[in-house]
Amino acid sequence: MKTLDYLGLDPKSTEKTVDGLQKLLASLQVYYTNLRGYHWNVKGVEFFGAHEKYEEYYDDTAEKVDEVAERILMLSGVPAHNFSEYLKVSVIKETGVVSNSKEIVKEILDSLKVLIALEREVLETASEGNDEGTVALMSDYISEQEKTVWMLTAYLS
């Protein structure tokens, strides 16, 4: 028996949710890699605080990557696990070296905008399939990221 047999979810609607989660997983992986680069390359008077904050962001993103991959598995999917696949699917693109903290924050905000939109799409699809587990996960991510957006826009003001 499969997990879906016990969860009582429709395989066809779950397949759509898994597709959305795969796109989110790929985008989170590229975002994570970009955050690592920001952490390594930030320079200037804000170095200490920014360096620490970007580490916090990539640690949080690594946790989300794991949770999304596990959710895909729970829904009888197989999470992609190589960067060549992520780069084909991700809505977020790789960035080059960025050292200025304000430019980095703008890049992070642009990425969060994309992630929140993806998460809302997954939430809607999961909701249509009565997949409360995925809905709750996406809802939590959105709430957390909206607060981060607020804080980062305040930083840029």
In the predicted structure, residue 4 carries a pLDDT above the cut 80: yes
Please write the tens of the pLDDT for every residue from 121-147: 999 999 999 999 999 999 999 999 999
Answer whether residue 49 is part of any domain.
Answer: yes
In the predicted structure, residue 116 carries a pLDDT above the cut 70: yes
Answer whether residue 1 is part of any domain.
Answer: no
Answer whether residue 6 is part of any domain.
Answer: no
Answer whether residue 145 is part of any domain.
Answer: yes
Look up the domain containing 122 and give its range. Answer: 12-156
Res 5: pLDDT = 84
Higher pLDDT, 5 or 40: 40
Res 1: pLDDT = 58
In the predicted structure, residue 110 carries a pLDDT above the cut 90: yes
Answer whether residue 5 is part of any domain.
Answer: no
Q: What is the pTM of this model?
A: 0.96
Report yes or no: 130 and 25 within 8 Å, Cβ to Cβ. Answer: no
How many domains does the structure of the chain reveal? 1
In the predicted structure, residue 30 carries a pLDDT above the cut 80: yes
Q: CATH number of the domain at 77, please.
A: 1.20.1260.10
Answer whether residue 52 is part of any domain.
Answer: yes
**Residue 102, CA distances (Å) to 36, 85, 127, 150 in order:** 16, 30, 37, 15
Answer whether residue 40 is part of any domain.
Answer: yes
Please write the tens of the pLDDT for every residue from 62-101: 999 999 999 999 999 999 999 999 999 999 999 999 999 9
For 122, half-sphere exposure in the C-beta direction (CA atoms, 13 angstrom radius) is 29
Answer whether residue 2 is part of any domain.
Answer: no
